[in-house]
Amino acid sequence: MKVMIQNIAAYICYLVAEANFEPYSDSARLCLIGADHWKFPRTYASPDVIQRIELYEYSKVLGNTQFILLPFQPYKFVYAHMLADLGKVTESLKYCQALLKSLKTGRAPEVDTWRQLVSSPEERIRTHQQGGYSVNLAPAKLVGK
């Protein structure tokens, strides 16, 4: 219990000090709010942790509509995949579209890469929702008469 309270206090200090979020690496001090990427490198990006930092990002956007938390964008992409894996295809599509919209304001080189990466599943989900890839595979068409 004491360790958990200390962790929460540390994250609050990071947020109050406006510490920079960093992309995942062995040397990064702050990747996500409330997740220890050093102890749990394979499982630290859980849905509740991603939602937590999304609230933080949203609060920053309310103060500055041009704000974009670049190190967080890969986690949004992961979250969109989580939604799709759970069968929440419509929510995943909306999430991809919101992610693409937020990436329109970014100017860093990696933003272009993220736009391209997010566009692919967004397009696939839209196609799926519109009835999928309809191909007429009637035997008469394949073999002639």
DSSP assignment of 76-136: HHHHHHHHHHTT-HHHHHHHHHHHHHHHTT--SHHHHHHHHHHHHHHHHHHHHHTT-----
Hunting for tokens 């397009």 — which residue is that? 123
Count of alpha carbons within 13 angstroms of residue 133, beta-carbon side:
3
- Condensed to tens digits (0 to 9), the pLDDT of residues 46-88 reads 898 889 888 888 988 899 988 888 888 888 888 998 998 898 9
Q: Helix count (H) and strand count (E) of the chain? A: 6, 0
Structure tokens at 76: 């949004």
| pLDDT band at residue 5 under the 50/70/90 scheme | low
Q: Where are the domains of the chain?
A: 2-132
pLDDT at 25: 82
Read off φ and ψ for residue 92, nearest 5 degrees. -65, -40
Closest CA to 120 of 141, 99, 145, 142: 99
Write down the pTM of the prediction.
0.70
Contact 95, 135 (CB under 8 A): no
What pLDDT was estimated at residue 132?
61
